[in-house]
Structure 1
Amino acid sequence: MDNNNMFKRAALLDKQLFLTLFNCNSPKWFKTMAFGLSKSGDGGLYILVCLAVWWLSNNEQQQLLPVTILVGFAIERPIYLLAKNRFARIRPCDCLVTNAYIVPNDKFSLPSGHSAAAFLVAIILSHFFPEYIWLLLSWAAGVAISRVVLGVHFPADIIIGAIIGSVCGLFALALVVPV
């Protein structure tokens, strides 16, 4: 199979997956849950978590959490912006369906910034609070999937965003947290 055919098949699968997850007949509670998960990934929650840990923790290691997250975002945001403008992939709500449940902040979809940010934060928080790793990764996955359910991202967008965020989170941990 040549590369061009492989990319066409991947794009078709991506569209089919999108149409399966973005279903206009989904129950209201499902859309409401997706909206809540998406909102939790808007950024305000990250600031509150960092401030709470910094304020409440007596653990020197945990005091590094806010700095680690800042370093992570300092690495991730330029990569995200460069990729978003380089790929310039049109959002599914602008080319495939016309009734997304939210209005996106920009016109391009690849990668998903919500997915990148959620996984960055989940990876870093999991290092400092390993007992919550499954809860944190489940939340990040929920944020990512919600973006497809709401109609503003294709599945590939959220997968690539999750990879970018995870790698940047691990890199920030390597830079900030002593071994």
Structure 2
Amino acid sequence: MMNNNMLKKVTQIDEQLFLTLFNCNSPRWFKTMAFGLSKSGDGGLYILICLAVWWLSNNEQHQLLPVTILIGFAIERPIYLLAKNRFARIRPCDCLVTNAYIVPSDKFSLPSGHSAAAFLVAIILSHFFPEYALLLFSWATGVAMSRVVLGVHFPADIIIGATIGSFCGLFALALVVPA
């Protein structure tokens, strides 16, 4: 178990890293790109991908994709909600800075739901479409980083969110996809 001094040091590093990444002087294009990446992780894209693969693919294996993603989210969402309310970490835009670029959907920051969802989807899509793995993980990393750049998450929030999403994606694959 982490002692109080060590926890304080980790929190200080996390806050300092946040202040480094959340820069009010960032160029407009950078903020616009972060906003676009964040929006791509809102959830609508996941539904479109599942429907497109289900509708367009003749590959029997690809037909498992929508079910795998649904099971992944059925596992991830309760963990995310439990952790979010248990940790109840105040968002950086409510305690460190006053000028976040977006309004968050709730008041707590740990873990990042956008990061969890993006990595869950990247893990599962990479299994079905390995040729796009680099693109998918670059996108998921961009979604996660955008949440810090926009001022609504600390770096630790996105790391923990990405970890939760990755494990839930792997677990869903283990449950659905035959070995």
Q: Normalising by the residue count of structure 1, what TM-score does the alignment of the two structures yield?
A: 0.98
Distance 2:51 2:3 in 1: 48
Distance 1:14 1:134 in 2: 27
For 2:86, the equivalent position in structure 1 comes to: 86
Aligned with 1:152: secondary structure?
coil
Determine if the alignment matches structure 1 residue 95 to structure 2 residue 95.
Answer: yes
Q: 2:160 is aligned with what amino acid?
A: I
Instruction: Show the counterpart of 1:106.
Output: 106
**2:61 counterpart of 1:61:** yes
CA distance in 2, matches of 1:164, 1:10: 19
Distance in 1 (alpha carbons) for counterparts of 2:9 and 2:30: 29
Letter in 2 for 1:85: N
Moved over 4 A (4+): none
Q: Determine the structure 1 residue equivalent to 2:15.
A: 15
Provide the rounded CA distance (Å) in 2 between the counterparts of 1:36 and 1:150. Answer: 11
Residue 86 of structure 1 aligns with an amino acid whose one-letter code is: R
Letter in 2 for 1:99: N
Where in structure 2 are there 5+ consecutive unaligned residues?
none
Q: Does 1:42 align with 2:35?
A: no
Deviation at 1:24, TM superposition (A): 0.1
Counterpart residue type for residue 123 of structure 1: I
Q: Cα deviations across residues 51-96 of structure 1 (Å, max 9, x unaligned)?
A: 0000110000000000000000000000000000000000000000
Amino acid at match of 1:119: F
The equivalent residue for 1:147 is: 147
Q: What corresponds to 1:77 in structure 2?
A: 77
Instruction: Give me the whole-angstrom Cα distance separating, in 2, the residues matched to 1:5 and 1:89.
Output: 18
SS at match of 1:58: coil
Q: Deviations over 1:157-177 (max 9, x none)?
A: 000000000000000000001
| C-alpha RMSD of matched pairs (Å) | 0.7
Deviation at residue 4 of structure 1 after TM alignment = 1.8
Instruction: Using the aligned pairs only, state the percent identity.
Output: 88
1:143, CA displacement in angstroms? 0.1
Q: What amino acid does structure 1 have at the position aligned with 2:27? A: P
- Output the amino acid matched with 2:159: I
Q: Distance in 2 between matches of 1:26 and 1:74?
A: 37
Q: 5+ residue gaps in structure 1?
A: none
Q: Distance in 1 between matches of 2:174 and 2:92?
A: 36
Show the counterpart of 2:25.
25
Q: TM-score under structure 2 normalisation? A: 0.98
